[in-house]
Amino acid sequence: MSHPFTSLGLAHPIIQAPMAGTATPALAAAVCEAGGLGSISIAAADIDTARKMIRQLRALTAKPFNVNVFCHQPSVANAQVERAWLTHLAPFFAEFGQSAPAAIQDIYTTFRGSEAQLRLLLEERPAVVSFHLGLPEQGYIDALKAAGIILFASATQLEEGLAAQAAGVDVVVAQGIEAGGHRGVFDPKAADAQLPTLALLEQLLNGLNIPVIAAGGLMDGGDIRRVLDMGAVAAQLGTAFVLCPESAANPAYRRMLASERAGTTALTEVISGRPARGMVNRFMREVGAAGHPLVPDFGIAYNAGKQLSEAASKAGSDEFSPFWAGQQALRARAMPAGELMAVLVGEYGG
């Protein structure tokens, strides 16, 4: 019996990562039309916006696509922690002629406990739904599977992969430490094994009975070929697609990614409240300097982070913007997504 993944009928085993805020319906559609699996994320969208994104993507391609949701434990507000954090950020806001916000709130949605997101996905029925930052309730997984939706889940270690497999997820995405953007750890407070993509891929291939997709630091056809030869069913690339004109990356992000600065990335939790890899900047170095106060929960911290980024940008500084990027970001290429797909296919010999 063929596995649900093969039923997607992809011409090429290439997946464009969902990249909340950067991947657009236009980018995803271009990848789908070129024979890969395009993805969008609804993690930062309200229900109406999410529905519009899915329908816009469906209007651009009849091919299967992936809709990503975040499955972190709902963030918990803590006025004391948030006040201390805003006090910590105040001098940076002041540098750009602004006051720190009086209060911050969660700007991300979590699929956990979100009947509205579940209803939306069951109504729109994308071919694939992918989970990041954990797993939702078993009832949600069962409902999506019953609707014929293929399920992916990110894992950064074998235990997470085993949990996804046990829950009925169809495919695990092995997210190595090299990956840009938010690290898919289920519990950000637990010790992180920080396994590189190839080591993690090997561990998951040996330890699981379901297909595995490789992700993290993959930029060209040589990288794709390497993970396919190891046994991955596909390669997921994120940073490789950021310089495509179809992505939502702003001019500053594009400039940074096309510069030498892309050669130095680091993991930080001070921007969003959860570990994420991006190009090293003053936000990471100075706001995140040793001895900083407790960082508010995921999405709450990011509310402050985005406001500081905006204040800095208005004053002409890109040093506080979250330019998420993987460890191989220097190898990103600027070309339309369809062209990039053709180049990747030529390189891996597909």
Confidence category of residue 350, pLDDT binned at 50, 70, 90: confident
Please tell me the distance from the alpha carbon of residue 82 to that of residue 329, in angstroms, as a whole number. Answer: 33
> Strands 234-237 and 14-16: what pairing?
parallel
Please tell me the distance from the alpha carbon of residue 283 to that of residue 310, in angstroms, as a whole number. Answer: 12
What pTM, to 2 d.p., does this model score? 0.97
CB count within 10 Å of CB 165 equals: 19
Question: Looking at the predicted structure, is the pLDDT value of residue 120 above 70?
Answer: yes
Rounded to 5 degrees, what are φ and ψ at 260? -60, -25
Question: Looking at the predicted structure, is the pLDDT value of residue 1 above 70?
Answer: no
Please tell me the distance from the alpha carbon of residue 18 to that of residue 128, in angstroms, as a whole number. Answer: 12
CB count within 10 Å of CB 272 equals: 27
Region 219-232: what's the mean pLDDT?
A: 98
Within 258-299, residue ranges assigned H as helices are: 282
CB count within 10 Å of CB 76 equals: 11
Residue 273 · residue 192 · CB < 8 Å = no
* Cα end-to-end span (Å), the chain: 24
Region 126-133: what's the mean pLDDT?
A: 98
Confidence category of residue 95, pLDDT binned at 50, 70, 90: very high
E strands along the chain, which residues?
14-16, 39-41, 66-70, 128-132, 150-155, 171-175, 181-182, 212-215, 234-237, 265-268, 276-279
Q: In the prediction, which pLDDT does 67 show?
A: 98
Q: In the prediction, which pLDDT does 152 show?
A: 98
Single-letter code of the amino acid located at 253: Y
Q: CA geometry: angle at 132 spanning 131 and 136, to 5°?
A: 50
pLDDT in tens, 108-117: 889 999 999 9
The first and second tokens of residue 238, run together, are 């994120």
Name the strands in the sheet holding 212-215, side by side, starting at the edge strand that comes first in the sequence.
14-16, 234-237, 212-215, 171-175, 150-155, 128-132, 66-70, 39-41
The secondary structure of residue 176, as a DSSP letter, is: -
Region 87-103: what's the mean pLDDT?
A: 97
Residue 246 · residue 226 · CB < 8 Å = no
Residue 67 · residue 128 · CB < 8 Å = yes
Helices vs. strands in the chain: H and E counts, helices first: 12, 11
Please tell me the distance from the alpha carbon of residue 291 to that of residue 297, in angstroms, as a whole number. Answer: 18
Please tell me the distance from the alpha carbon of residue 119 to that of residue 255, in angstroms, as a whole number. Answer: 39
